[in-house]
Chain A
Amino acid sequence: MVKPPIMRSSHGRASGLGSAKEGVQQWWLERVTAVALVPLTLWFTASIVGHTDVGYMAFIAWLRAPLTTILMVLLLIALFHHLALGLQVVIEDYVHSVAKLPAVITVRLACFGLAVAGIVATLRIALGY
């Protein structure tokens, strides 16, 4: 069966319905994660600058300190959440082919995977496994 053509313009179909009420969520979360990343990344950079040539034992001791473990896990969560949202905007702006949706899904899933991998590595060190 051939569908009858919709005899209304896109504007005509959308007008009067209001916004979808959800569009602002990604924009907002990108800002919230950005605000979280300002102190977290500054802490991380300052820590790395202070530990440029330390050996394995000193690095492990640093990461095992409770505050360091907490901040590292928070950094990984905020970082990969921000990364997923930011890269999605970049893909949506520049990829206009059929690759757009697979690219967005791949980036989102990779961000989940990398965040979990980073958190597990941090916790393995912190808990001594």
Chain B
Amino acid sequence: MTAKVPRSTSVPAIRTSRPLSPHLQIYRPQLTSVLSFSHRLTGVILSVYAVALVAWLSAAAAGPQVFATAQSLVQSPFGKILLLACTFSFFLHLCSGIRHLMWDTGRGLELGAIYISGWVVVAVSTMLTAVSWIVGTTLAR
């Protein structure tokens, strides 16, 4: 069968059938790669919430009835789960983004420093999410 395929097209066909490296299914995740992907993922997720921000402002501009509907959606259990996901995504992207800005200045690029700043990002973004929700629910009472 392969003999019928012209030489010029058979070479890329063989190339694409070869296993890719790194092989993601068997690749042990590291903090560095997980945070790198998380930064992108939270960036895309936050883009969706940015659309919701515009919808929320437009609801307020439309008047009290529309705003009340928007608020009831946000205050519903599902809305609160989405808002919690938004809060964590925001703080992770913020902390991870500051880490990227630090790297852009040429600082903290040694392997040890990269792992320290990585764990700082995880700890601080989790802490800020918890603090903002504790403060938010306390003030709401």
Interface residues of A (CB under 8 A from B): 31, 34-35, 38, 41-42, 45, 48-50, 52-53, 56, 59-60, 63, 72, 76, 79-80, 83, 86-87, 90, 114, 117-118, 120-122, 124-125
B87 to chain A minimum Cβ distance, whole angstroms, is: 8
Q: Is the CB of B94 within 8 A of A41?
A: yes
A63 touches B60 (CB 8 A): yes
List the B side residues contacting A52 at CB < 8 Å: 136-137, 139-140
Q: How many residues of B contact A (CB 8 A)?
A: 31
Q: Which residues of B contact A (CB under 8 A)?
A: 40, 43-44, 46-47, 50-51, 53-54, 57-58, 60-61, 64, 67-68, 75, 87, 90, 94, 97-98, 100-101, 104, 132, 135-137, 139-140
- State whether B50 touches A117 (Cβ < 8 A): no
Residues on A with beta carbons closer than 8 Å to the beta carbon of B98? 38
Q: A31-B101, A38-B94, A87-B47 are in contact. Are A118 and B53 (CB under 8 A)?
A: yes
Give the secondary structure class of A's interface.
helix
Apart from the given pairs A31-B101, A31-B104, 12 other A-B contacts in the complex at a CB distance below 8 Å: A41-B90, A45-B90, A49-B136, A53-B140, A56-B60, A59-B60, A79-B53, A83-B46, A90-B43, A90-B44, A117-B54, A122-B57
